[in-house]
Amino acid sequence: MSHSAAELAKYLEAGLSGNRSAQISGVASPERATASDLIYVDSERHLGRAEKSAASCILARPGTRAAGKTIIEVKDPKLAFAKAAVWLLPAAAPAPGVHSTAIVPPTARLGASVSISAYVVLEDGVEIGRNAIIEPFCFIGRGARIGDDCRLHPRVTLYAGARLGNRVEVHAGATIGSDGFGYVPGDGRQWKFPQIGSVEVGDDVEIGAGATIDRGSLESTVIGKGVKIDNLVHIAHNVNVGEHTVIAAQTGISGSSTLGKNVVVGGQVGIADHCTLEDGAVAGAQAGIPTGKIIRSGQTVWGTPARPLDRFKQQYAWFARLPELAARLRKLEDAQGNR
C-alpha cells in the first residue's frame, strides 16, 4: 500500500516542503532506500547520507532542506519514523482461523478473528481475545487468558492461569508463569516452597525471545503496561515491574523486587531480591544491585555493588591509577626512611 507525502505529513501532524504527491510505501536506511522508501535524518551530520540516498522523502527537523527531496518536518525525526513505520507497514499476519491440527478444547473461548496456527495446544478454560495471533507450537495452559490483538510467536509457553493484557507481543520460546525458584532447606534436602501465585502482564508489553517470567509464589508477578523486555531476561516470582519500564537482554530480577515506572535497566544487570528501583531509575549494563537496596527516583547506578554513576566513575578513575598511587606512597615512605 502506498501513501502520498501529504497523507503522511497529515498523519504525523507535520509540515511539508517539496512534492506533496511523492509516493511512500516503505521505510529504510538511506543506503538501502528506493525512491518510495521513507528515510529520516536525526542530525546535520547525517544529512549528506540522506542527500545521496535514492529516497524521495525525508523526515527531518523543521527548516532542513535537501536538493530534490521532499522534507516532512518534525521535531523528533526518529520518533516520527517509528510512528510512520507502524502506519506504513502493518505486520505480516496469518489469516484468521483455527488450523485443523490445533487442539482447542470445548471449554476454550476464542474471540472474533483469532488466528490459531498449526500445532497449537490450548488447555481447558483458556480465553483468547479478538484478532489474537497464536503461532505454531504455542502452549496455553489451563485457564490462561490472552487479550485482544496479542501476538504469540512460535513456541511460547503460558503455564496455567497466566494472563496477558491487550496488544501483548511475545517472541519465540518465551515462558510465562513457570514455577518460581523457592526452596526451604530441611532434613538434608530442599523442600519446594509453594509456587501457586499468578502472573499478570499488562497491555502493550513486548517480551523477547527466550525470556522467562515466573509466576508468584503466594502473590502475583506483575508486569505493567507498556513494559519492554528483551531476549533471555529472567524475572522471578513476585516481581513487580512498573509501566513503560525497559529491560535489556539477559538481565535477571530476583524475587519480590519492585521496579517503578519508566525505569531503564541495561543488559546483564543483576537485581537481587527485595530491591526497589523507583520511578525513572537507571541501572547501567552489568550492574549488580544487592538484596534490599533502594535506588532512588531518577538516580543512575553502575557497578557491583551498584552505586551512583558519578561516584562509581570517580572511584574507578582512581582504581585505574592504583599502581601510580602505590608508587607515590612508596616514594613518601622512602623519603621518610631516609630522614
112-131: which residues touch a second copy (CB under 8 A)? Answer: 117-119, 121
- Decide if 153 is catalytic: no
Span 70-109, contacts to a second copy by CB under 8 A: 76, 78-79, 81-83, 85-86, 89, 92, 101, 103
Count of beta carbons in the 10 Å neighbourhood of residue 72: 28
- The single residue among 52, 62, 65, 319 that binds a second copy, judged by CB under 8 A, is 319
The enclosing H or E element of 190 equals strand 189-192
CB of 129 to a second copy, least distance (A): 20
Query: In terms of CB distance, is 1 or 184 closer to a second copy?
Result: 184
Site for a second copy in 5-24 (CB under 8 A): none
Binding mask 221-250 for a second copy (x = CB under 8 A): -----x-x-xxx-x-x-------x-x-xxx
Interface of this chain with a second copy, residues 128 to 157, rule: CB under 8 A: 135-137, 139, 142, 153-155, 157
CB of residue 44 to a second copy, shortest distance in Å: 19
Identified binder of a second copy from the candidate list 276, 286, 297, 300, rule CB under 8 A: 286
Minimum separation from the CB atom of position 18 to a second copy (A): 22
Distance CA 88, CA 1 (A): 8
Interacting span for a second copy (CB under 8 A) from 10-18, 44-52, 53-61, 183-191: 183-191
Contact region with a second copy (CB under 8 A), list: 15-23, 61-69, 292-300, 311-319: 311-319
Determine the interface stretch with a second copy among 1-9, 13-21, 48-56, 187-195 (rule: CB under 8 A): 187-195
* Type and span of the H or E element at 110: strand 109-110
What are 26's strand-pairing partners? 37
CA contacts within 13 A on the Cβ side of 24:
33
Angle between helices 322-338 and 309-320 (to 10 degrees): 50
| Residue selected from 6, 210, 276, 279 as contacting a second copy according to rule CB under 8 A | 210
Q: Which residues contact 155 (CB under 8 A, 6 or more apart)?
A: 136, 137, 138, 139, 172, 173
The DSSP result for 111-156, as a single string, is -TT-EE-TT-EE-TT-EE-TT-EE-TT-EE-TT-EE-TT-EE-TT-
- The Cα 233–Cα 251 span in angstroms is 5
DSSP 296: P
Instruction: Give the active site residues.
Output: 237
